[in-house]
Amino acid sequence: MKEPTSVRTKDPSPTKKDFIEWSDTLSVGVQEIDDQHKGLAAMVNEMSEGIKGGWGKEARDEVLTRLVEYTKVHFATEESLMSISNYPAINTHKKQHEQLIDMVGAHIKKYDEDPNASNYDLLFFLKRWLVEHIMKDDKAMGEHLIKHSPMKKTGDSFFGRLKRLFGFGNKKMPAPAKA
């Protein structure tokens, strides 16, 4: 007999809003990081759609594997930027990243043991964690990076970036000496 390739894990629709709506309030001010955050939010939303559609084990594993890989790349990006810019709170920030990876790993293990377990707990956890982490920790890091690294600011024009990097156009002309 052919083994079932997927297990239905349809959950009832939750009452809470279960997706991340991107808005400028989530911007940390650094283009590359904002782009990655949008990618993460899109994956969380993909997860939400999957659960609502009663996704199977294969689809869930595929999305969660991609989400974990992308999250690791994203954390590595932030951590290298914090490191090269001597960000003072790097260790606390890294610890939070590690905790997230551990938590997601624990949920995945639980789903492996019980394929019919509801996936909403992980979805809500990810959504809350991501939004809170971006609003507090990533924004603090973003402010530091804007001052201490050559990263492209969100919405920066090429000229705006040069101006910021080299400081031209920022200095006020000295007032003419009074006669």
Q: How far is the CB of 165 from Fe ion (least distance, A)?
A: 23
Q: How far is the CB of 8 from Fe ion (least distance, A)?
A: 33
Of the listed pieces 80-88, 137-145, 148-156, 157-165, which binds Fe ion according to CB under 5 A? 137-145
**Quick one: 89 or 165, whose CB is closer to Fe ion?**
89
- Which of 105, 108, 100, 147 is CA-nearest to residue 127? 100
Q: How far is the CB of 123 from Fe ion (least distance, A)?
A: 18
Which phi and psi (to 5°) does residue 30 adopt?
Answer: -120, 120
Burial call 63-94: b when 16+ CB within 10 Å, e when fewer = bbeebbeebeebbeebbebbeebebeebeebe
**112, 132, 146, 153, 176 from 129: Cα distances, Å:** 22, 5, 24, 24, 54
The contact pattern for Fe ion, residues 92-131, with x = CB under 5 A and - = no contact, is ----------------------------------------
**Quick one: 138 or 156, whose CB is closer to Fe ion?**
138
**Quick one: 9 or 71, whose CB is closer to Fe ion?**
71
156 binds Fe ion, rule: CB under 5 A: no
34 binds Fe ion, rule: CB under 5 A: no
Rounded CA-CA distance 32/152 in Å is: 7
The contact pattern for Fe ion, residues 57-86, with x = CB under 5 A and - = no contact, is ---------------------x--------
Spatial contact of 6 and 52, defined as CB atoms under 8 Å apart: no
User: Would you state the structure tokens that stand for residue 102, as one six-digit string?
Assistant: 């551990």
Determine how many CB atoms are found less than 10 A away from the CB of residue 157.
10
**Quick one: 18 or 78, whose CB is closer to Fe ion?**
78
- Residues of this chain that interact with Fe ion (CB under 5 A) are 78, 138
